[in-house]
């Protein structure tokens, strides 16, 4: 049997449409709304060991899955098909939205501790204007079914609404202070935020290492000029305002609360986070 676990809310409530498209590749698959599964151990126990499971959703859907199944032995035939707005996980793997096997990519993930709670993440933890964009996007999503223009939110945030912070970033015990900080994400993969190549040299296949990016030290106009280059990973050439550090244990502390996002899921009023690689 083939079981398609889809998130109907993915891609502005278009998740079932994507699941139906994927289903055309299989003979008589069954469908389960993944948001209705409260006990994955009980769910998987109902099926044969040789069954195939295809998760169909966005990066947030996959994030919830890996956290909900953190202590379980997962099915051998486990696949993922991107049906979100960003699909950065598959972008990093260099694949399209066809189902790809994911067992090797989700068993040794980094964890982030925020407000005393630990979460696994697949792409990145965003802190700064990226968290602000997710916060604003969440509010807009409550009032419209139209696609959210995160690029537009970022531009308005840079010019008018988001106020940069001071940050202390510690990588494997070495702390550095930064002023006028706009971004301070920690990355497992290269991409987050719907195609932003925040850490071009980060390799999710490389065990024990994550990368923290800090964009800092420049005013609104220069930051706005450089910011679009992050979609090609060319921002790292602006070494006067961009620094990427690699390590196993990373902590970031802001001097005031800001929104933080974990694979697109928003947590408000955060002053610090800690990441430990797998």
The domain tally of the chain equals 2
Alpha-carbon gap, residue 222 to 123, rounded angstroms: 27
Alpha-carbon gap, residue 174 to 228, rounded angstroms: 30
pLDDT at 99: 92
Per-residue pLDDT of the chain (278 residues; tens, 9 = 90+): 999 999 999 988 889 999 999 999 999 999 999 999 999 999 999 999 899 999 999 999 999 999 999 989 999 999 999 988 889 999 999 886 689 999 999 989 999 999 999 999 999 999 999 999 999 988 888 887 777 777 788 888 888 899 999 999 999 999 999 999 999 999 999 999 889 999 999 999 888 999 999 999 999 999 999 999 999 999 999 999 999 999 999 999 999 999 999 998 999 999 999 999 98
Instruction: Assign residue 46 the CATH number of its domain.
Output: 3.40.50.10330
Q: Are 7 and 57 in contact (CB under 8 A)?
A: yes
Which helix H or strand E contains 193, and what residues bound it? none
pLDDT at 219: 94
Same domain membership, residue 256 and residue 118:
yes
Instruction: Assign residue 211 the CATH number of its domain.
Output: 2.60.200.40
Alpha-carbon gap, residue 249 to 239, rounded angstroms: 23
Same domain membership, residue 127 and residue 31:
no
User: Domain end: 55, 73, 107, which one?
Assistant: 107
Same domain membership, residue 118 and residue 51:
no
Q: Is the pTM of this model over 0.85?
A: yes
Same domain membership, residue 80 and residue 132:
no
Q: Which two tokens stand for residue 233?
A: 């990973």
Alpha-carbon gap, residue 170 to 249, rounded angstroms: 8
pLDDT at 141: 80
Alpha-carbon gap, residue 244 to 185, rounded angstroms: 10
Alpha-carbon gap, residue 265 to 131, rounded angstroms: 9
Same domain membership, residue 130 and residue 58:
no
Task: Determine whether 183 is exposed, middle or buried from the number of CB atoms within 10 Å of its CB (0-12, 13-18, 19+).
Answer: buried
pLDDT at 152: 84
Same domain membership, residue 258 and residue 205:
yes
**Residues present in the chain in total:** 278
Helix, strand or coil, per DSSP, at residue 230: helix
Same domain membership, residue 232 and residue 122:
yes
pLDDT at 64: 96
pLDDT at 97: 62
Please state the separation of Cα 108 from the chain's center in Å: 16
Same domain membership, residue 131 and residue 96:
no
């Amino acid at each position: 049997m083939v079981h398609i676990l889809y998130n109907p809310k993915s891609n502005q409530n278009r998740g079932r449409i994507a699941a139906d498209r994927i289903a055309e590749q299989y003979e008589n698959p069954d469908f389960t709304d993944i948001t209705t599964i409260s006990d994955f151990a009980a769910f998987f126990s109902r099926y044969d060991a040789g069954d195939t499971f295809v998760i169909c959703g966005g990066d947030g859907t996959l994030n919830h899955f890996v956290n909900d199944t953190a202590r379980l032995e997962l099915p051998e035939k486990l696949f993922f098909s991107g049906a979100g707005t960003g699909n950065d996980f598959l972008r990093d793997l260099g694949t399209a939205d066809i189902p790809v096997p994911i067992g090797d990519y989700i068993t040794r993930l980094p964890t982030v501790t925020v407000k005393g709670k630990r979460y696994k993440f697949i792409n990145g933890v965003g802190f700064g204007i990226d968290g602000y964009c997710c916060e604003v996007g969440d509010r807009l999503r409550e009032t419209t079914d139209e696609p959210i223009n995160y690029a537009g939110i970022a531009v308005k945030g840079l010019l008018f609404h988001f106020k940069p912070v001071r940050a202390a970033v510690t990588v494997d015990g070495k702390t550095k202070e930064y002023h006028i900080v706009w971004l301070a994400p920690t990355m497992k993969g290269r991409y987050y935020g719907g195609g932003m190549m925040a850490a071009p040299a980060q390799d999710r296949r490389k065990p024990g290492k994550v990368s923290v990016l800090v964009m800092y030290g420049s005013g609104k106009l220069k930051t706005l000029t450089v910011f679009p280059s992050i979609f090609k990973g060319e921002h790292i050439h602006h070494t006067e305002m961009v620094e990427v550090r690699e390590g196993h244990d990373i902590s970031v502390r802001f001097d005031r609360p800001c929104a933080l996002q974990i694979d697109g899921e928003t947590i408000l009023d955060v002053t610090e986070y800690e990441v430990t690689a797998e």
